[in-house]
Amino acid sequence: MDPICLVKDGEKYCDEYVATKSLFDNTVVAHGKDAVKVYNEAKQKGFKDPVIFHVPEDILQIY
């Protein structure tokens, strides 16, 4: 099984919530410190099912 990259340039989003278009399209559509605001921003931009996740300060890669 190939690893899934949730977001490229993760260092840019350290300690923030990130919204991507979907689980299989990691295009970032919103990001910030408040998960609800990030979700609402993605929905307002027209993304039906955005995926929201937190990028920790210390990025860990799990394979």
Q: Are 30 and 50 in contact (CB under 8 A)?
A: yes
Dump pLDDT digits (tens) for 5-43.
677 777 788 899 999 998 888 899 999 999 999 999 999
Is the pLDDT confidence value at 3 over 50? yes
Nearest CA to 6 among 41, 53, 42? Answer: 53
Query: pTM to 2 decimals?
Result: 0.80
